[in-house]
């Protein structure tokens, strides 16, 4: 009797070299399945379970810090399609929601300066504060 060993198909997934990543965000925009997470000017990382090994991120990375070097399981075509549809739905939802709802204002708008004289005085006060700080630093 022969013993049957079941093996899952594996393929290389994308990996970001953290020392060279500049956080430009170009890879995030081209990833079809939202496998790359991070924000601008912050280190990015790749979720291998969502990576389809499409190499779009490798081609757009300006610092060449992305390689196909992490071993992971192969996604079926239906799994890839579902992940791609989820990203498209998320992008479509963000376009429907006004930016003021996604990113509410954090500063109150009641302190508006109404006259040009008030604005000039506010600017002069700000310049004086900066000059005072510079004099204290010397």
Strand partners, 64: none
The 10 Å Cβ neighbour count of residue 81 is 13
Q: Is the dihedral of CA 6, 12, 17, 18 positive or negative?
A: negative
Residues near 113 by Cβ (< 8 Å), separated by ≥ 6?
Answer: 119, 122
Domain range for 31: 10-102
91 assigned to some structural domain? yes
- How many angstroms separate the CA atoms of 4 and 2, rounded? 6
Question: Over the stretch 78-135, which tens digit does the pLDDT of each residue have?
Answer: 988 998 888 888 888 777 665 555 555 555 555 555 677 888 888 888 888 888 877 7
CATH number, domain of 31, equals: 3.30.70.20
Question: Over the stretch 101-116, which tens digit does the pLDDT of each residue have?
Answer: 555 555 555 555 567 7
For the record, the structure tokens of 50 come out as 């969502």
Contact 38, 28 (CB under 8 A): yes
111 assigned to some structural domain? no
> In total, how many domains does the chain have?
1
26 assigned to some structural domain? yes
82 assigned to some structural domain? yes
119 assigned to some structural domain? no
In the DSSP assignment, the letter for residue 109 is: S
């Amino acid at each position: 009797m022969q013993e049957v060993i079941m093996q899952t198909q594996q393929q290389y997934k994308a990996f970001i070299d953290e020392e060279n990543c500049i956080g430009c965000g170009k890879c995030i925009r081209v990833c079809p399945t939202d496998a790359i997470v991070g924000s601008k000017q912050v280190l990015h990382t790749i979720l291998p379970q969502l990576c389809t090994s499409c190499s779009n991120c490798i081609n757009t990375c300006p610092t060449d810090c992305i390689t196909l070097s992490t071993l992971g399981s192969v996604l079926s075509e239906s799994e890839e399609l579902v992940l791609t549809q989820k990203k498209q739905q998320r992008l479509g939802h963000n376009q429907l929601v006004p930016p003021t709802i996604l990113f509410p204002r954090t500063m109150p708008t009641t302190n508006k300066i109404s006259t040009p004289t008030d604005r000039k005085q506010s600017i002069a006060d700000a310049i004086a504060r900066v000059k005072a700080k510079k004099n204290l630093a010397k």
